[in-house]
Amino acid sequence: MKALVIYDSIFGNTEKIAQAIGSALGAPGDVQVLRVGDVKPEQLTGLDLLIVGSPTRAFRPTATISQFLGGIPAGGLSGVRVAGFDTRILPEDTGSPILRFMMKLFGWAAKPIADKLVRKGGLLAIPPEGFAVKGSEGPLAEGELERATEWARKIAAAG
């Protein structure tokens, strides 16, 4: 299985989740984990699995991740299994009722990422998933690296 995990990360939390996912998917020869700015177009060819993750910022993926997804040619992911994840703050961890309401209304980054990957021809390998941080700069909530490992193992097992 040739797999690529692409992520963006400002404070390092999404990077940790991406690395945990990459390690759980298989041997380093088969799986690459790359920051979105380091991906070259030719690295998207011949893939069996593409996973994309972003911090949630204003209910969406980062601009860099959105630009990357927008740049994938139409049908460019035909036959590729795909999945999206994000890091996020849980509604119950925000002090603001208005923000809590907006989070529930507008959502997080993982679903728009997965939707975009599917629109480019990908086959959804697993529903989008979010991993919690305790504040804007982190740290990751307890148990989230383990949950990311489990999520990735499910993807590998289904392949």
Interface with ligand FMN by CB under 6 A: which range of 8-16, 23-31, 39-47, 120-128?
8-16
**For the range 35-40, what are the long-range contacts, defined as Cβ-Cβ under 8 Å and sequence gap of 24 or more?**
35/6, 35/7, 35/8, 35/9, 36/6, 36/7, 36/8, 36/64, 36/65, 36/68, 37/64, 39/4, 39/6, 39/68
Q: How far is the CB of 76 from ligand FMN (least distance, A)?
A: 26
Tell me how far, at minimum, the Cβ of 127 lies from ligand FMN, in Å.
Answer: 18
Determine contact, residues 80/125, Cβ cutoff 8 Å: no
Q: Of the candidates 138, 141, 154, 156, which one interacts with ligand FMN according to CB under 6 A? A: 138
- The verdict on 13 binding ligand FMN (CB under 6 A) reads yes
Q: How far is 65 from 67, CA to CA, in rounded Å?
A: 5
CA dist., res. 9 & res. 142, Å (int): 19
Q: Which range in 36-44, 70-78, 83-91, 145-153 contacts ligand FMN by CB under 6 A?
A: 83-91
Chain-centroid distance of CA 129 in Å reads 8
Selected binder of ligand FMN within 22, 55, 61, 128 (CB under 6 A): 55
Q: Which of 12, 41, 73, 127 binds ligand FMN (CB under 6 A)?
A: 12
| Interaction of residue 113 with ligand FMN, rule CB under 6 A | no
Binding site for ligand FMN (CB under 6 A): 9-15, 55-59, 87-89, 103, 108, 133, 136, 138
